[in-house]
Amino acid sequence: MRMVLPFALFLLSALPLRAENWPHWRGPQFNGSTTETNLPTEWSRTEGIVWKAKLDGAAASTPIVWEDRVFLSGLDAENDTLQVMCFARGDGKLLWKHDLAKGTYQDDRSNFAAPSPVTDGKSVYFFFSNGDLIGYDLDGRRKWARNIQEDYGTFAFNWTFAASPTLFDGKLYIQVLQRDVPVRGRGFTDRENESYLLAIDPETGDTLWRHIRPSNAVAESREAFSTPIPLTGAGRNELLLSGGDALTGHDPATGKELWRWDNLNPVKISHWRLVPSPVAGGGVALICGPKKSPVFAVKCGLSGQLNDNDLAWSSEGVGDVSSDVPTPACYDGDFFILNDLRRVLSRVAAATGEVKWTVETPGGAKYEASPLAADGKIYLVNFQGEVSVIDARTGDLINTIEMDDPQGREVVRSSVAAAHGQLFIRTTRELYCVSK
């Protein structure tokens, strides 16, 4: 007993205090954070690696983790085929993989495997930018499949559509916020292209309802690459949608619009497509304006048509607090806003907008992956696959680890995920599991 007890206590001390899954691309709280602890800060491509798995092509989708399984959408670049994959979290063994449709891209900015999968622990759902939506059980047996473009028309986007699905309140949600007129041969030519929020029965794949979401935006500013984000609080549940120059809150049961703030682009600039998803915290819902414009925090719990008096704060006049592509994280009562165009990261009080610190992002490559906030740290990854670990309290750089050598036009856009005391890092051709 004198020998066994200290060893058992040592093993217990090495375990994370809390273990959470990562079921959605923005994590268990839909805000880029997790309660995971004991996460690593030092590793290399060979040290601290639990396992790595080879991938057949680069894509922006984020790994999704549920208990002992890791789910990932991707592509086979050589055969021009979309893929769905499931790996064993313990050793990285490929448990199942299915090749789907031929054709993986329509422009050189992205590909059809940009949306991330989502799971409720019973089934997993994969969505691709070509409109394919497929549900599987956790063992890889197909439950149903459909194509959203075939059902409701081709996506009227200048670039490749890339919203991820969301599971919430027993429904699977997909938003398509698009142009009202065709662009590059995509979209209806004989009628208006409607922007909409779609609710789907996760068991059958059937449409429960489709709510049309209007917009006063013009041209490309109608397009959004964001994801619907749940908000729970103020005595009700909501779905937040950002895009078309507006932030709106919707009833998850019906899609009915509960409120709208649409003063993001008052002069109606025509090229303000929106990429970051909304994020909530501190009694506000955050929307990031594009192209170095401010972020705006709308007070939660309101109804109807809102105006600027209903803003809790904005970052107007604070040029560093902005995001064109990454979705901010909310952690420890603050937003962590990654400004990809000015190459800085800021910690901002969610309730007041006070900037607590701003630091330059390491390295010379662009950051488009959204930040992970966990265990007192912020994890970032840039196009070159350099993962930086930053102290969330001070903004000090803890470490930078080179995880990739991208070739050609391939870059790293997938966000770092954390679950069960481990980090999951997708580079252009590898999926890594990292742990202390």
Question: What is the pLDDT averaged over residues 110-130?
Answer: 97
Is the predicted pLDDT of residue 413 greater than 60, yes or no? yes
Query: Is the pLDDT reported for residue 36 higher than 80?
Result: yes
pLDDT at 235: 83
Confidence category of residue 1, pLDDT binned at 50, 70, 90: very low
Q: Are 135 and 205 in contact (CB under 8 A)?
A: yes
d(CA 259, CA 119): 28
pLDDT at 12: 44
Rounded to the nearest 10°, the torsion over CA 347, 352, 354, 356 is -40
Give the rounded percent of residues in the chain with a pLDDT score beyond 90. Answer: 94
pTM metric for this prediction:
0.95
pLDDT for 433 equals: 98
Tell me the pLDDT band of 13, cut-offs 50, 70 and 90. very low
Whole-number Å distance between alpha carbons of 249 and 210? 15
Q: How confident is the model over 287-346, as pLDDT tens digits?
A: 999 999 999 999 999 999 999 999 999 999 998 999 999 999 999 999 999 999 999 999
Q: Which residues pair with 358 in a beta bridge?
A: 346
Beta bridge partners of 231: 238
State how far the Cα of 245 lies from the Cα of 251, in Å rounded to an integer.
20
Over residues 350-376, the mean pLDDT reads 97
Q: Which two tokens stand for residue 171?
A: 């429904």
Cβ-contact 284, 291 below 8 angstroms: no
Please give the single-letter amino acid code of residue 412. Answer: V
Give me the torsion for CA of 380, 247, 161, 175, rounded to 10°: 110
Q: Using an 8 Å Cβ cutoff, are 110 and 163 in contact?
A: no
- In CATH, which superfamily holds the domain spanning 80-276? YVTN repeat-like/Quinoprotein amine dehydrogenase (2.130.10.10)
End-to-end CA distance of the chain: 27
Q: Output phi, psi for 5, to 5 deg.
A: -60, -50
Find out whether 285 and 300 touch, Cβ atoms under 8 Å.
yes
Strands 304-305 vs 257-261: parallel, antiparallel or unpaired? parallel
* pLDDT of 5: 46
**Residue 416, by phi and psi: left (phi above 0), alpha (psi -120 to 50) or beta?**
beta
Mean pLDDT for the chain?
Answer: 95
Q: Amino acid identity, residue 111?
A: N
Name the band, by pLDDT with cuts 50, 70 and 90, for residue 414.
very high
Mean pLDDT computed over 136-147: 98
Mean of pLDDT values over 382-409: 97
Residue 8 pLDDT level (bands cut at 50, 70, 90): very low
How confident is residue 9, by pLDDT bands cut at 50, 70 and 90? very low
pLDDT of 10 reads 47
Residue identified by tokens 């006063």 is 216
pLDDT tens-place string over residues 78-87:
999 999 999 9
Strand partners, 377: 374, 391
Residue 131 has pLDDT above 90, yes or no: yes
Let me know: does 218 contact 264? Beta carbons within 8 Å. no
pLDDT band, very low/low/confident/very high, at 220 (cuts 50, 70, 90): very high
* C-alpha of 364 from chain center: 23
What's the number of CA atoms in the CB half-sphere (13 Å) around residue 348? 30
- Which residues have a Cβ under 8 Å from the Cβ of 194 and sit 6 or more positions away? 152, 180, 212
Which residues, 6 or more positions from 177, have their beta carbon under 8 angstroms from its beta carbon?
163, 195, 213, 215, 222, 223, 224, 226, 241, 243, 244, 274
Judge contact between 143 and 203, C-beta under 8 A.
yes
pLDDT tens, residue by residue, 144-202: 999 999 999 999 999 999 999 999 999 999 999 999 999 999 999 999 999 999 999 99
Give me the residue spans of the domains in the chain. 80-276
Band (234; pLDDT cuts 50, 70, 90): confident
pLDDT at site 15 = 46
Query: What confidence tier does 107 reach under pLDDT thresholds 50, 70, 90?
Result: confident
How far is it, in rounded angstroms, from Cα 244 to Cα 371? 24
- Give CA–CA dist 34/17, Å, rounded: 12
